Structure 1
Amino acid sequence: MTQFEKAQAFHALHQAGNPLVLYNIWDAGSAKAVAEAGAKAIATGSWSVATSQGYEDGEKLPLDRVIRTAKQISAAVDLPVSIDFEGGYAKEPEFIADNIARLIAAGAVGLNFEDRVVGGDGLFSQVDQAHRIAAIRGVADETGIPLFINARTDVFLKADPAKHADHMKEATDRCDVYAEAGASGIFIPGLSDPDLIGRICAHTKLPVNAYMKEGAPSIAEMAKLGVARISHGPAPYREAMKALTERAAAFYGS
């Protein structure tokens, strides 16, 4: 497939009630392994990519390495590739646009783009984040690649789960604003309550990306709620490294 065709295919995989399940990877080797297992698309997790290269998450991994990794992954598999691009490695829309152009040139057809202020406090205002998303959509349109912008909101991520219902208005407002700005989907990490996930799905026309973690609904349950995409975040990397450590320990007799 061409990059354009991969982008189209990636959009088509997001179906409410029939979610695209992404077992997040961190390099070309893990991408090939997951592709050979039957994945329909490939997606990185920023924590895993950074940790595998000796860095902490939070845009500590140099941008050049992120782009190089994206290029290596895209070359290794003939599947749509989405990159967890955190906050775009910039605050101002014009600088984000430059970075996105590099990401698309590396072969990516999608990205996660979060609204928390990386390296700062809190979230970008809805207006500011909308400008940032619009800049991404603008440069994608210029390249002719229908980039899937998975707009991540961290409204729920650090909030007390017992008070997640109190944050629903802000979350749904952000869904609306981000959709208007050009987002392709909405990602709601931290939210595990089935009723609240269902309410998000019912509210927005954007495909909803939920996060698989301990205590979250099962894939089948998320499908019934209307979820269109499920991510596993850093869990695959942690599981792989745990298995490697255990095998090595057995080999060395420790």
Structure 2
Amino acid sequence: MTSLADKAALFKDLHRPGDPVILPTVWDAWSADLVRQAGFAGLTIGSHPLAASAGATDREGMALGEVLARVREITAAVDIPVSVDLESGYGADAAKLVDGVLAAGAVGFNIEDTVHAEGGRLREPREHADFIAELRSAIDASGVPLVLNARTDLFLRQDGDAADRVDRAVARLRLAAAAGADVLYPIGRLDDEALRRLTAELPLPVNVVAMPESGDRAHFAESGVARVSFGPFLQNHLAATALGVLRRW
């Protein structure tokens, strides 16, 4: 049986710029098993679809314990690597988050810079990097090389002036990289110029979000991306398809 540490190391190795790993975003054991059956090398659990499946809201509408309980159901259902979106950390300290991820059987997690418990404010760049550093220290102490995916919401929120948004994202994510992140996640709609700048100027593998029904792996590969996930869009696409079937009746 592959140990969690070995699985985490294998998961990290999947992140290759120009040869992106596709990690479909799931929300329960059923959707995770569909991804496994389709032959993907790993998957990620999204906070938005997870909350929707539980009748809760995104932006930390579920408690950390509830999230981790669902993660355990998913990791018990599939043997491929699982990463989980932990939003901004649910107000927990680094050690509690890392211990929870390990106990749930996941091998990686996202941390974003929007603080939902404090009115949705954006962490300052150094503040976010300091939290990443605390998480890296807790990961290193655990002995399991969990893949730490540092996310910024600058593009998602359309924060500040668009003219220098890429510059600000690069500066923010470089601090996260220096603090110990493994992957950098500038979530949001990115035009080709912004995407190429980010992959060229950032020192670590870059994660992007794509539309599962229309995204193009070759395009992301050519742009230097290392990881592609789907956010809420796979669940949305399946829901639209299911509604079409149901409405026929």
Q: Secondary structure at the match of 1:90?
A: coil
Q: Alignment RMSD, CA only?
A: 1.9
Matching of residue 139 in structure 1 with residue 138 in structure 2: yes
Report if the CA contact (8 A) 2:94-2:138 is conserved. no
Q: Secondary structure at the match of 1:237?
A: helix
What residue in structure 2 maps to residue 247 of structure 1? 245
Q: Give 1:177 shift.
A: 0.5
Residue type matched to 2:122 in 1? Answer: L
Distance 2:120 2:23 in 1: 29
What residue in structure 1 maps to residue 58 of structure 2? 57
More displaced 10-residue stretch of structure 1: 95-104 or 8-17? 95-104
Cα deviation code 1:132-188 (max 9, x no counterpart): 111111111111110111100011112179x54421221111121001111001111
Q: Give 1:241 shift.
A: 2.1
What residue in structure 2 maps to residue 14 of structure 1? 15
Distance 1:113 1:212 in 2: 19
Q: TM-score, normalised by structure 2?
A: 0.93
Q: Secondary structure at the match of 1:151?
A: strand
Where structure 1 has 5 or more consecutive residues not aligned to the other structure, the ranges are none
Report if the CA contact (8 A) 2:155-2:190 is conserved. no
Where structure 2 has 5 or more consecutive residues not aligned to the other structure, the ranges are none
What residue in structure 2 maps to residue 23 of structure 1? 24
Residue type matched to 1:76 in 2? Answer: A
Q: Map residues 194-205 of structure 1 onto 2, 5 A cutoff.
A: 194-205=192-203
Q: Give 1:38 shift.
A: 0.8
Structure 1 runs of 4+ aligned residues shifted over 6 Å read none
Residue type matched to 1:9 in 2? Answer: L
Residue type matched to 2:223 in 1? Answer: L
Distance 1:165 1:185 in 2: 25
Cα deviation code 1:198-247 (max 9, x no counterpart): 11111112100111149x97321111110001111111111222233333
Q: Map residues 163-242 of structure 1 onto 2, 5 A cutoff.
A: 164-213=162-211, 218-242=216-240
Q: Secondary structure at the match of 2:22?
A: strand
Residue type matched to 1:124 in 2? Answer: R
